[in-house]
């Protein structure tokens, strides 16, 4: 892949759950990795849900293989791109630890 095609900056993060001083659950967004990615549109459709129409869009981000401390990317991670959140649905390794293809669904 041509490295010049990695023209989108993304943040990969995970929600960490903890408790505050009174015992309530706190959900904190923790950035795990920031990198450049190639973005491709995969699939989109509209769903009728009662009184409104919802849209569902699937995308593919291709990134260089990230060497993370004791972490392997899976569907518990999220991507933030242009202030929008995308849920990772599938992670595919391309080459021998060279590239990762992240299939994502736009959060509504």
25-36 tens-digit pLDDT = 999 999 999 999
Q: What is the pLDDT of residues 35-89, one digit of tens each?
A: 999 999 999 888 887 888 888 899 999 999 988 776 788 889 999 999 999 999 9
CATH number at residue 79: 2.40.10.270
Q: Which two tokens mark 77?
A: 């991670």
Which residue reads 């706190």 in tokens? 26
Token output for 60: 């593919």
How many domains does the chain fold into? 1
The total number of residues written for the chain in this structure: 108
3 state SS of 4? helix
Whole domain around residue 51: which residue ranges? 3-106
Question: What pTM, to 2 d.p., does this model score?
Answer: 0.83
């Amino acid at each position: 892949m041509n490295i010049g095609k990695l023209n989108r900056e993304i943040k990969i993060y995970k929600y960490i759950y903890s408790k505050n001083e009174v015992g309530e659950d706190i959900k904190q967004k923790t950035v795990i990795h920031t990198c450049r990615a190639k973005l491709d549109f995969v699939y989109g459709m509209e769903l009728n849900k009662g009184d409104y129409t919802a849209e569902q869009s699937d995308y593919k981000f291709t990134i260089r293989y990230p060497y993370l401390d004791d972490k392997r990317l899976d569907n518990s991670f999220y991507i933030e791109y242009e202030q929008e959140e995308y849920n990772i649905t599938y992670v595919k390794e391309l080459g021998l630890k060279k590239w990762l293809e992240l299939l994502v669904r736009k959060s509504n």
